[in-house]
Amino acid sequence: MRRRSIYLAATAMSAALVLAGCSATEQPASTPTATEPEASAEAQEREELNVNLIAAAWANDLDTSRELIESGADVNAKDSTSQSAYLIATSEGYLPLLELTLQNGADVTSLDSWDGTGAIRAGERGHADIVGRLVQAGIDLDHVNNLGWVALHEALVFAKADQVDAYVDTVRVLVAGGADVTIPSERDGKTPVELADENSLSQQSELLRAAAADDESEGEVGDANQRLLAAAQDGDADAAALALRAGADLETRNDLEQTPLLLASANDHVDVARLLVALGADPDALDHQHDTPWLVTGVTGSVAMLEALLPADPDMSIPNRFGGLSPIPAGERGHADYMKRVASTGVDLDHVNDLGWTALLETIIFGDGSQRYQDIVTTLIDAGVDVTIADKSGVTPLEHAQSRGYGNIAAALEAAAR
Protein backbone atom coordinates (compact mmCIF):
# COMPACT_ATOMS: atom_id res chain seq x y z
CA MET A 1 0.00 0.00 0.00
CA ARG A 2 2.80 2.38 0.89
CA ARG A 3 4.54 1.91 -2.51
CA ARG A 4 1.21 2.48 -4.33
CA SER A 5 0.56 5.67 -2.28
CA ILE A 6 3.96 7.04 -3.20
CA TYR A 7 3.34 6.21 -6.87
CA LEU A 8 -0.07 7.89 -6.85
CA ALA A 9 1.34 10.97 -5.15
CA ALA A 10 4.12 11.20 -7.73
CA THR A 11 1.63 10.75 -10.57
CA ALA A 12 -0.58 13.47 -9.18
CA MET A 13 2.42 15.82 -8.89
CA SER A 14 3.45 15.13 -12.50
CA ALA A 15 -0.05 15.87 -13.71
CA ALA A 16 -0.10 19.11 -11.78
CA LEU A 17 3.21 20.17 -13.35
CA VAL A 18 1.93 19.37 -16.84
CA LEU A 19 -1.23 21.38 -16.23
CA ALA A 20 0.82 24.27 -14.90
CA GLY A 21 3.00 24.14 -17.98
CA CYS A 22 -0.06 24.32 -20.22
CA SER A 23 -1.58 27.28 -18.43
CA ALA A 24 -1.94 30.60 -20.23
CA THR A 25 0.51 32.39 -17.95
CA GLU A 26 3.89 30.75 -17.59
CA GLN A 27 6.08 31.45 -14.59
CA PRO A 28 9.62 32.57 -15.54
CA ALA A 29 12.43 30.24 -14.65
CA SER A 30 14.43 31.31 -11.64
CA THR A 31 17.80 32.92 -12.37
CA PRO A 32 20.61 30.63 -11.40
CA THR A 33 22.89 32.08 -8.75
CA ALA A 34 26.60 31.61 -8.48
CA THR A 35 27.74 29.02 -6.05
CA GLU A 36 29.88 30.11 -3.12
CA PRO A 37 33.11 28.89 -4.77
CA GLU A 38 32.22 30.78 -7.98
CA ALA A 39 31.42 33.97 -6.08
CA SER A 40 34.62 33.65 -4.10
CA ALA A 41 36.66 33.21 -7.30
CA GLU A 42 35.06 36.30 -8.85
CA ALA A 43 35.76 38.35 -5.75
CA GLN A 44 39.37 37.17 -5.72
CA GLU A 45 39.76 38.08 -9.39
CA ARG A 46 38.39 41.58 -8.75
CA GLU A 47 40.69 41.99 -5.79
CA GLU A 48 43.70 41.01 -7.90
CA LEU A 49 42.66 43.50 -10.57
CA ASN A 50 42.36 46.24 -7.97
CA VAL A 51 45.73 45.41 -6.40
CA ASN A 52 47.37 45.47 -9.83
CA LEU A 53 45.66 48.75 -10.70
CA ILE A 54 47.01 50.41 -7.57
CA ALA A 55 50.50 49.14 -8.42
CA ALA A 56 50.15 50.45 -11.98
CA ALA A 57 48.96 53.81 -10.64
CA TRP A 58 52.02 54.18 -8.43
CA ALA A 59 54.16 53.43 -11.49
CA ASN A 60 52.13 55.93 -13.56
CA ASP A 61 51.65 53.14 -16.10
CA LEU A 62 48.73 54.55 -18.06
CA ASP A 63 48.42 51.74 -20.60
CA THR A 64 48.33 49.00 -17.98
CA SER A 65 45.93 51.02 -15.84
CA ARG A 66 43.58 51.39 -18.80
CA GLU A 67 43.70 47.66 -19.54
CA LEU A 68 42.99 46.77 -15.91
CA ILE A 69 40.07 49.18 -15.74
CA GLU A 70 38.64 47.72 -18.93
CA SER A 71 38.94 44.30 -17.30
CA GLY A 72 36.92 45.44 -14.31
CA ALA A 73 39.34 47.07 -11.87
CA ASP A 74 37.78 49.75 -9.66
CA VAL A 75 39.48 53.16 -9.67
CA ASN A 76 38.05 53.81 -6.20
CA ALA A 77 39.20 50.55 -4.61
CA LYS A 78 41.61 51.19 -1.74
CA ASP A 79 44.42 49.17 -0.25
CA SER A 80 45.15 48.76 3.45
CA THR A 81 46.60 52.30 3.58
CA SER A 82 43.51 53.87 1.96
CA GLN A 83 45.24 54.49 -1.35
CA SER A 84 43.31 54.11 -4.59
CA ALA A 85 44.30 54.68 -8.21
CA TYR A 86 42.33 57.93 -8.14
CA LEU A 87 43.91 59.21 -4.91
CA ILE A 88 47.40 58.23 -6.08
CA ALA A 89 46.92 60.27 -9.26
CA THR A 90 46.03 63.33 -7.17
CA SER A 91 49.00 63.18 -4.81
CA GLU A 92 51.60 62.21 -7.40
CA GLY A 93 50.51 64.74 -9.99
CA TYR A 94 49.66 62.22 -12.70
CA LEU A 95 47.21 64.28 -14.76
CA PRO A 96 46.53 61.75 -17.58
CA LEU A 97 45.96 59.05 -14.96
CA LEU A 98 43.60 61.34 -13.06
CA GLU A 99 41.71 61.97 -16.28
CA LEU A 100 41.45 58.23 -16.85
CA THR A 101 40.07 57.62 -13.36
CA LEU A 102 37.56 60.46 -13.66
CA GLN A 103 36.35 59.04 -16.96
CA ASN A 104 35.80 55.73 -15.20
CA GLY A 105 33.83 56.81 -12.18
CA ALA A 106 36.37 58.24 -9.77
CA ASP A 107 34.64 59.47 -6.63
CA VAL A 108 35.94 62.96 -5.86
CA THR A 109 34.53 62.68 -2.33
CA SER A 110 36.87 59.75 -1.64
CA LEU A 111 39.16 60.34 1.35
CA ASP A 112 42.62 59.09 2.26
CA SER A 113 43.82 57.88 5.66
CA TRP A 114 44.04 61.49 6.85
CA ASP A 115 40.43 62.11 5.77
CA GLY A 116 41.84 64.26 2.99
CA THR A 117 40.39 64.77 -0.47
CA GLY A 118 42.32 64.62 -3.69
CA ALA A 119 42.44 68.42 -3.68
CA ILE A 120 44.14 68.47 -0.28
CA ARG A 121 46.70 65.90 -1.43
CA ALA A 122 47.39 67.88 -4.62
CA GLY A 123 47.54 71.17 -2.73
CA GLU A 124 50.19 69.83 -0.41
CA ARG A 125 52.38 68.86 -3.39
CA GLY A 126 51.78 72.02 -5.41
CA HIS A 127 50.01 70.22 -8.27
CA ALA A 128 48.07 73.17 -9.66
CA ASP A 129 46.95 71.26 -12.75
CA ILE A 130 45.51 68.47 -10.62
CA VAL A 131 43.68 70.94 -8.39
CA GLY A 132 42.30 72.66 -11.48
CA ARG A 133 41.00 69.41 -12.93
CA LEU A 134 39.37 68.56 -9.61
CA VAL A 135 37.75 72.00 -9.53
CA GLN A 136 36.24 71.16 -12.91
CA ALA A 137 35.01 67.85 -11.48
CA GLY A 138 33.21 69.68 -8.66
CA ILE A 139 35.34 68.70 -5.67
CA ASP A 140 34.76 70.38 -2.32
CA LEU A 141 37.68 72.77 -1.92
CA ASP A 142 36.81 73.57 1.69
CA HIS A 143 36.76 70.02 3.05
CA VAL A 144 38.71 69.78 6.32
CA ASN A 145 40.94 66.76 6.95
CA ASN A 146 41.66 65.28 10.37
CA LEU A 147 44.63 67.61 10.77
CA GLY A 148 42.24 70.55 10.58
CA TRP A 149 43.42 71.74 7.18
CA VAL A 150 41.79 72.43 3.83
CA ALA A 151 43.57 72.34 0.48
CA LEU A 152 44.49 76.03 0.72
CA HIS A 153 46.10 75.57 4.14
CA GLU A 154 48.23 72.69 2.88
CA ALA A 155 49.31 74.63 -0.22
CA LEU A 156 50.65 77.30 2.14
CA VAL A 157 52.04 75.17 4.97
CA PHE A 158 53.92 72.78 2.67
CA ALA A 159 55.08 75.29 0.04
CA LYS A 160 58.64 74.49 -1.03
CA ALA A 161 61.21 77.19 -1.69
CA ASP A 162 62.51 75.39 -4.78
CA GLN A 163 59.02 75.15 -6.33
CA VAL A 164 57.80 78.72 -5.98
CA ASP A 165 55.86 78.86 -9.24
CA ALA A 166 54.10 75.56 -8.58
CA TYR A 167 52.75 76.65 -5.20
CA VAL A 168 51.85 80.15 -6.36
CA ASP A 169 49.98 78.56 -9.29
CA THR A 170 48.19 76.22 -6.89
CA VAL A 171 46.95 79.05 -4.68
CA ARG A 172 45.82 80.97 -7.77
CA VAL A 173 43.80 77.97 -8.94
CA LEU A 174 42.22 77.56 -5.50
CA VAL A 175 41.35 81.26 -5.35
CA ALA A 176 39.94 81.22 -8.89
CA GLY A 177 38.00 78.06 -8.06
CA GLY A 178 36.22 79.72 -5.17
CA ALA A 179 38.01 78.33 -2.12
CA ASP A 180 37.25 80.06 1.17
CA VAL A 181 40.22 82.40 1.66
CA THR A 182 39.36 83.27 5.26
CA ILE A 183 38.72 79.82 6.74
CA PRO A 184 40.91 79.31 9.83
CA SER A 185 42.86 76.13 10.39
CA GLU A 186 41.22 73.93 13.00
CA ARG A 187 44.73 72.92 14.01
CA ASP A 188 45.89 76.32 15.26
CA GLY A 189 43.20 78.82 14.29
CA LYS A 190 45.40 80.56 11.72
CA THR A 191 43.86 82.00 8.58
CA PRO A 192 45.31 81.47 5.11
CA VAL A 193 46.77 85.00 5.14
CA GLU A 194 48.42 84.35 8.50
CA LEU A 195 49.87 81.08 7.22
CA ALA A 196 51.17 82.82 4.10
CA ASP A 197 52.80 85.55 6.14
CA GLU A 198 54.25 83.05 8.59
CA ASN A 199 55.86 81.14 5.72
CA SER A 200 57.08 84.31 3.93
CA LEU A 201 54.85 83.69 0.94
CA SER A 202 54.40 87.30 -0.10
CA GLN A 203 52.80 86.59 -3.50
CA GLN A 204 50.21 84.29 -1.99
CA SER A 205 49.55 86.67 0.88
CA GLU A 206 48.88 89.57 -1.46
CA LEU A 207 46.51 87.50 -3.60
CA LEU A 208 44.61 86.17 -0.58
CA ARG A 209 44.14 89.66 0.84
CA ALA A 210 42.86 90.88 -2.52
CA ALA A 211 40.46 87.93 -2.79
CA ALA A 212 39.07 88.58 0.69
CA ALA A 213 38.53 92.24 -0.18
CA ASP A 214 36.87 91.33 -3.50
CA ASP A 215 34.51 88.92 -1.74
CA GLU A 216 33.12 91.80 0.28
CA SER A 217 32.22 93.77 -2.83
CA GLU A 218 29.59 92.88 -5.41
CA GLY A 219 30.62 93.17 -9.02
CA GLU A 220 28.88 92.39 -12.30
CA VAL A 221 29.85 89.26 -14.24
CA GLY A 222 30.25 91.40 -17.37
CA ASP A 223 32.80 93.49 -15.53
CA ALA A 224 34.54 90.30 -14.42
CA ASN A 225 34.79 89.22 -18.06
CA GLN A 226 36.47 92.48 -19.01
CA ARG A 227 38.82 92.15 -16.06
CA LEU A 228 39.79 88.67 -17.20
CA LEU A 229 40.49 89.78 -20.77
CA ALA A 230 42.58 92.70 -19.51
CA ALA A 231 44.51 90.47 -17.12
CA ALA A 232 45.29 88.01 -19.90
CA GLN A 233 46.40 90.80 -22.22
CA ASP A 234 48.58 92.41 -19.55
CA GLY A 235 49.94 89.22 -18.01
CA ASP A 236 48.49 89.68 -14.52
CA ALA A 237 47.82 86.15 -13.28
CA ASP A 238 46.53 87.28 -9.89
CA ALA A 239 44.02 89.61 -11.53
CA ALA A 240 42.95 86.74 -13.78
CA ALA A 241 42.36 84.51 -10.75
CA LEU A 242 40.32 87.21 -9.05
CA ALA A 243 38.24 87.79 -12.18
CA LEU A 244 37.47 84.09 -12.43
CA ARG A 245 36.57 84.03 -8.75
CA ALA A 246 34.16 86.89 -9.45
CA GLY A 247 32.39 84.81 -12.09
CA ALA A 248 34.20 85.60 -15.34
CA ASP A 249 33.57 83.21 -18.22
CA LEU A 250 36.72 81.25 -18.98
CA GLU A 251 35.91 81.51 -22.71
CA THR A 252 34.76 85.12 -22.83
CA ARG A 253 35.88 86.96 -25.97
CA ASN A 254 36.89 90.45 -27.00
CA ASP A 255 35.81 92.25 -30.16
CA LEU A 256 38.30 90.21 -32.19
CA GLU A 257 36.87 86.93 -30.88
CA GLN A 258 40.05 86.33 -28.86
CA THR A 259 39.70 84.36 -25.65
CA PRO A 260 41.76 85.02 -22.52
CA LEU A 261 43.94 82.01 -23.30
CA LEU A 262 44.63 83.22 -26.83
CA LEU A 263 45.57 86.66 -25.50
CA ALA A 264 47.88 85.10 -22.93
CA SER A 265 49.47 82.88 -25.58
CA ALA A 266 49.94 85.65 -28.14
CA ASN A 267 51.61 87.86 -25.53
CA ASP A 268 53.60 84.98 -24.00
CA HIS A 269 52.11 85.37 -20.51
CA VAL A 270 52.86 81.84 -19.39
CA ASP A 271 51.67 82.09 -15.78
CA VAL A 272 48.26 83.33 -16.93
CA ALA A 273 48.09 80.51 -19.47
CA ARG A 274 48.93 77.91 -16.81
CA LEU A 275 46.05 79.17 -14.67
CA LEU A 276 43.58 79.14 -17.53
CA VAL A 277 44.66 75.71 -18.77
CA ALA A 278 44.42 74.24 -15.28
CA LEU A 279 40.79 75.33 -15.13
CA GLY A 280 39.93 73.92 -18.55
CA ALA A 281 40.41 76.74 -21.07
CA ASP A 282 40.08 75.71 -24.72
CA PRO A 283 43.44 75.63 -26.58
CA ASP A 284 41.58 75.36 -29.90
CA ALA A 285 39.35 78.44 -29.67
CA LEU A 286 39.52 80.30 -32.99
CA ASP A 287 39.65 84.07 -33.27
CA HIS A 288 38.71 86.42 -36.12
CA GLN A 289 41.73 85.44 -38.23
CA HIS A 290 41.65 81.70 -37.55
CA ASP A 291 44.35 81.66 -34.92
CA THR A 292 44.17 79.47 -31.81
CA PRO A 293 46.19 79.64 -28.58
CA TRP A 294 48.24 76.71 -29.89
CA LEU A 295 48.78 78.06 -33.40
CA VAL A 296 50.25 81.35 -32.24
CA THR A 297 53.05 79.53 -30.39
CA GLY A 298 54.55 78.84 -33.82
CA VAL A 299 54.64 82.57 -34.43
CA THR A 300 56.04 83.57 -31.04
CA GLY A 301 58.34 80.56 -30.80
CA SER A 302 57.69 80.27 -27.09
CA VAL A 303 58.71 76.84 -25.82
CA ALA A 304 57.42 77.73 -22.35
CA MET A 305 53.97 78.51 -23.76
CA LEU A 306 54.05 75.32 -25.80
CA GLU A 307 54.68 73.40 -22.57
CA ALA A 308 51.90 75.28 -20.78
CA LEU A 309 49.39 74.39 -23.49
CA LEU A 310 50.27 70.73 -24.01
CA PRO A 311 48.33 69.51 -20.93
CA ALA A 312 45.20 70.96 -22.56
CA ASP A 313 45.64 68.50 -25.45
CA PRO A 314 45.49 71.02 -28.30
CA ASP A 315 44.38 69.93 -31.75
CA MET A 316 47.57 70.35 -33.74
CA SER A 317 45.83 69.69 -37.05
CA ILE A 318 43.82 72.94 -37.03
CA PRO A 319 45.34 75.20 -39.74
CA ASN A 320 45.88 78.94 -39.56
CA ARG A 321 44.49 81.38 -42.13
CA PHE A 322 47.27 80.38 -44.54
CA GLY A 323 46.45 76.70 -44.16
CA GLY A 324 49.58 76.05 -42.12
CA LEU A 325 50.35 74.32 -38.84
CA SER A 326 52.51 75.80 -36.09
CA PRO A 327 55.87 74.41 -37.35
CA ILE A 328 55.55 76.35 -40.61
CA PRO A 329 55.67 79.89 -39.16
CA ALA A 330 58.26 78.63 -36.68
CA GLY A 331 60.48 77.61 -39.59
CA GLU A 332 59.91 80.90 -41.37
CA ARG A 333 60.92 82.88 -38.27
CA GLY A 334 63.88 80.73 -37.32
CA HIS A 335 62.55 79.47 -33.97
CA ALA A 336 65.07 76.66 -33.62
CA ASP A 337 64.35 75.72 -29.99
CA TYR A 338 60.62 75.70 -30.65
CA MET A 339 61.06 73.50 -33.71
CA LYS A 340 63.17 71.04 -31.76
CA ARG A 341 60.44 70.72 -29.11
CA VAL A 342 57.40 70.73 -31.39
CA ALA A 343 58.96 68.07 -33.60
CA SER A 344 58.49 65.59 -30.74
CA THR A 345 54.78 66.31 -30.21
CA GLY A 346 53.41 64.31 -33.13
CA VAL A 347 52.42 67.33 -35.22
CA ASP A 348 52.52 66.77 -39.00
CA LEU A 349 55.89 68.19 -40.04
CA ASP A 350 55.22 67.48 -43.73
CA HIS A 351 51.97 69.44 -43.81
CA VAL A 352 51.68 71.67 -46.90
CA ASN A 353 49.99 75.04 -46.48
CA ASP A 354 47.79 76.84 -48.99
CA LEU A 355 50.86 78.47 -50.53
CA GLY A 356 52.34 75.06 -51.25
CA TRP A 357 55.05 75.19 -48.60
CA THR A 358 56.10 72.84 -45.81
CA ALA A 359 57.99 73.83 -42.68
CA LEU A 360 61.20 72.77 -44.42
CA LEU A 361 60.50 74.87 -47.49
CA GLU A 362 59.65 77.98 -45.43
CA THR A 363 62.80 77.53 -43.36
CA ILE A 364 64.88 77.70 -46.53
CA ILE A 365 62.85 80.22 -48.55
CA PHE A 366 62.40 82.77 -45.75
CA GLY A 367 65.55 82.02 -43.78
CA ASP A 368 68.99 83.45 -44.25
CA GLY A 369 70.92 80.21 -44.05
CA SER A 370 72.40 81.14 -40.66
CA GLN A 371 73.06 78.68 -37.87
CA ARG A 372 69.57 78.77 -36.39
CA TYR A 373 68.04 77.95 -39.77
CA GLN A 374 70.60 75.21 -40.27
CA ASP A 375 69.60 73.84 -36.87
CA ILE A 376 65.95 73.80 -37.88
CA VAL A 377 66.76 71.90 -41.07
CA THR A 378 68.75 69.39 -39.05
CA THR A 379 65.86 68.99 -36.60
CA LEU A 380 63.39 68.39 -39.40
CA ILE A 381 65.67 65.89 -41.15
CA ASP A 382 66.27 64.04 -37.88
CA ALA A 383 62.50 63.96 -37.34
CA GLY A 384 62.09 62.17 -40.68
CA VAL A 385 60.47 64.80 -42.89
CA ASP A 386 60.19 64.17 -46.61
CA VAL A 387 63.01 66.30 -48.05
CA THR A 388 61.73 65.83 -51.61
CA ILE A 389 58.39 67.64 -51.26
CA ALA A 390 58.53 70.46 -53.80
CA ASP A 391 56.65 73.76 -53.87
CA LYS A 392 53.85 74.58 -56.31
CA SER A 393 56.42 75.38 -59.00
CA GLY A 394 58.10 72.02 -58.57
CA VAL A 395 61.20 73.44 -56.89
CA THR A 396 62.56 71.17 -54.17
CA PRO A 397 64.08 72.20 -50.83
CA LEU A 398 67.52 71.21 -52.16
CA GLU A 399 67.14 73.38 -55.24
CA HIS A 400 65.99 76.33 -53.11
CA ALA A 401 69.02 75.90 -50.85
CA GLN A 402 71.43 75.64 -53.79
CA SER A 403 70.00 78.70 -55.55
CA ARG A 404 70.48 80.75 -52.36
CA GLY A 405 74.00 79.54 -51.75
CA TYR A 406 73.14 77.78 -48.47
CA GLY A 407 75.90 75.20 -48.76
CA ASN A 408 75.54 73.57 -45.34
CA ILE A 409 71.79 73.19 -45.74
CA ALA A 410 72.18 71.82 -49.26
CA ALA A 411 74.75 69.29 -48.05
CA ALA A 412 72.42 68.15 -45.24
CA LEU A 413 69.56 67.73 -47.70
CA GLU A 414 71.70 65.78 -50.15
CA ALA A 415 72.81 63.46 -47.37
CA ALA A 416 69.22 62.96 -46.20
CA ALA A 417 68.06 62.12 -49.73
CA ARG A 418 70.62 59.36 -50.16
Beta carbons of 117 and 151 less than 8 angstroms apart: yes
pLDDT of residue 290: 97
pLDDT of residue 34: 57
- pLDDT of residue 191 exceeding 50, the answer is yes
pLDDT in tens, 81-102: 999 999 999 999 999 999 999 9
Question: pTM of the full predicted structure?
Answer: 0.88
Span 48-107 CATH architecture: Alpha Horseshoe (1.25)
Do 48-107 and 316-418 share a fold? yes
Best CATH choice for the domain 316-418 from the list 3.10.20.30, 3.40.190.80, 1.25.40.20, 3.90.1170.50: 1.25.40.20
Q: Residue 119 — very low, low, confident or very high, per pLDDT cuts 50/70/90?
A: very high
CA distances from 20 to 8, 13, 25, 36, 196 (A): 18, 10, 9, 32, 80
Q: Residue 41 — very low, low, confident or very high, per pLDDT cuts 50/70/90?
A: confident
pLDDT in tens, 228-248: 999 999 999 999 999 999 999
- pLDDT of residue 401 exceeding 80, the answer is yes
Helices 128-136 + 85-92 axis angle, to 10: 130
Q: How many CB atoms lie under 10 A from the CB of residue 10?
A: 10
Average pLDDT score over residue span 289-304:
98
pLDDT in tens, 154-165: 999 999 999 999
* The amino acid at 275: L
What φ, ψ does residue 41 adopt, rounded to 5°?
A: -65, -40
- Listed by start position, the domains of the chain span 48-107, 316-418
Beta carbons of 85 and 65 less than 8 angstroms apart: yes
Task: Give the containing element (helix H, strand E) for 373.
Answer: helix 371-382
Helix segments in 235-335, DSSP class H: 237-245, 260-266, 270-278, 295-300, 303-309, 327-333
CA distance 361 to 354: 13
